[in-house]
Amino acid sequence: MHAVITALPGDGIGPEVVAEGRRVLEAVGERFGHTFDMREALIGGCAIDAVGTALPDETLRLCRESDAVLLGAVGGPKWDNPDAPVRPEQGLLGIRKALGLFANLRPVTLHPRLIAASPLRPERLQGVDLIVVRELTGGIYFGEKGRDTTPDGGESAYDECVYTTAEIERIVRTAATLARQRRKKVTSVDKANVLETSRLWRSVTTRVMRDEFPDVHLEHMLVDACAMHLIRRPSDFDVIVTENMFGDILTDEASMLAGSMGMLPSASLGAPGDTGRTTRMGLYEPIHGSAPDIAGKGIANPLATILSVALLLRHSLGLEREARAVETAVWRTIEDGIVTADIAAPDERPATTTDVGAAVAARVIVG
């Protein structure tokens, strides 16, 4: 196949880990006979420095012409002021919205080697294999927001949270379709005892699941209870579906089950067939941030980005065999002890970012 992919390395360790993602993608292309036409563009802090905005028009144009986007990370101390008019995060939120990437998939699986890195007791982690499907273009993130003055001379601020039936239906369908390929269980997370958006969420979810996915088990859970159960009995979860902000918070919590943030990939998907192509537009990125403290040292773990490349192959290009080849190569690299400091055992010499990327690329084989 021939696919066009835009790389957005971004800030901090972004460029280092994206370089390794690209290396693995090239290895896949070579061995499986595909052409991946790679382009690169600016996003986040580096874009602010170069052209004064976190999401330049040129970047958006390139992404729109692509089959998929591979992103590193945005942000850093230089652009950290939350009151600044231009901020790196605007690049991320802007691209999600502009490309219609409403479904954010964040899988949490655990290599046995990482059990020791998790703050949880090993027996709690047995069998953890869950995926959070977070709604990504609605809710409080994108509602009207603003400031007012109060009669006493103080200030007030507001952020509106809105969800429509159509927005809920499409994310629930994405989650249930995934569950069908897994353990056929969906946990829908809301705050229906307090929020009106959550009450709509719950009734739409119940209807869609009953009418379209009778073979998939549905449970509803309040978000505070979910935060607790993720720690108490994480292996009970299969697919969790939830709104934008709950998903943001729960996925940081869930990432700790896996020990290192350096291992977790993510996929943000648009509607299938949205572009009139056979591919599904998606943006793929590690869930970790730009880690400015270790940037440029060659010690960042590239596996989350490389696993994001596997998700790209699977969800945007429909290349399941190739996706598995990458995941297997990652697994073998870990087994062979070629890992960065964040997951290396105390008696092991840590490998560099490029060592790990090269080792995975070398292990990509046509199975």
Catalytic residue among 129, 236, 248, 274: 248
Q: Report the C-alpha gap between 20 and 24 in whole angstroms.
A: 6
Residue 231 binding: pick among ligand IPM, Mg ion, none (C-beta 5-8 Å cut-off by kind): none
Nearer to Mg ion, 213 or 246 (CB): 246
Residue 89 binding: pick among Mg ion, ligand IPM, none (C-beta 5-8 Å cut-off by kind): ligand IPM
**Site mask, ligand IPM, residues 235-264, x = CB under 6 A?**
-------------x----------------
CB 63 within 8 A of CB 69: yes
224 carries an active-site annotation: yes
Residue 92 binding: pick among Mg ion, ligand IPM, none (C-beta 5-8 Å cut-off by kind): ligand IPM
Contact flag: residue 274 with Mg ion (CB under 5 A): no
Q: What is the 3-state secondary structure (H, E, C) of 80-125?
A: CCCCCCCCHHHHHHHHHHHCCCCEEEEEEECCHHHHHHCCCCHHHH
Residues in contact with ligand IPM, counted by CB under 6 A, come to a total of 4
Q: Report the C-alpha gap between 218 and 353 in whole angstroms.
A: 41
**Site mask, ligand IPM, residues 40-79, x = CB under 6 A?**
----------------------------------------
> Which residues are CB-contacts of 143 (< 8 A; sequence separation ≥ 6)?
159, 160, 161, 162
What are the backbone dihedrals phi and psi of residue 266, each rounded to the nearest 5 degrees, phi first?
-150, 155
158 carries an active-site annotation: no
> Which residues are CB-contacts of 247 (< 8 A; sequence separation ≥ 6)?
104, 106, 132, 133, 134, 135, 136
Catalytic residue among 49, 159, 215, 224: 224
The amino acid at residue 173 is: R
What are the backbone dihedrals phi and psi of residue 296, each rounded to the nearest 5 degrees, phi first?
80, 0
- Stated as kind and residue range, the H or E segment containing 340 is none
Nearer to ligand IPM, 254 or 364 (CB): 254
Nearer to ligand IPM, 286 or 357 (CB): 286
* Nearest-10 crossing angle of helices 165-180, 196-212: 50
Of residues 73 through 92, those in contact with ligand IPM by CB under 6 A are 89, 92
11 carries an active-site annotation: no
184: which DSSP letter? S
Catalytic residue among 129, 184, 191, 236: 191
Residue 40 binding: pick among Mg ion, ligand IPM, none (C-beta 5-8 Å cut-off by kind): none
CB 73 within 8 A of CB 289: yes
80 carries an active-site annotation: no
Question: Which residue's beta carbon is nearest to the bound ligand IPM?
Answer: 89
**Site mask, ligand IPM, residues 91-120, x = CB under 6 A?**
-xx---------------------------
Least Å distance, CB 262 to ligand IPM, is 15
Nearer to ligand IPM, 308 or 333 (CB): 308
State which of residues 212, 248, 253, 355 lies at the interface with Mg ion (CB under 5 A): 248
CB 37 within 8 A of CB 2: yes
CB 300 within 8 A of CB 306: no
- Stated as kind and residue range, the H or E segment containing 223 is helix 223-232
Least Å distance, CB 365 to Mg ion, is 35
Catalytic residue among 141, 190, 284, 342: 141
Catalytic residue among 159, 252, 293, 336: 252
Q: Report the C-alpha gap between 61 and 65 in whole angstroms.
A: 6
**Site mask, Mg ion, residues 146-185, x = CB under 5 A?**
----------------------------------------
Q: Report the C-alpha gap between 181 and 172 in whole angstroms.
A: 15
57 carries an active-site annotation: no
Catalytic residues: 141, 191, 224, 248, 252
Residues engaged in binding Mg ion (CB under 5 A): 248
Residues engaged in binding ligand IPM (CB under 6 A): 89, 92-93, 248
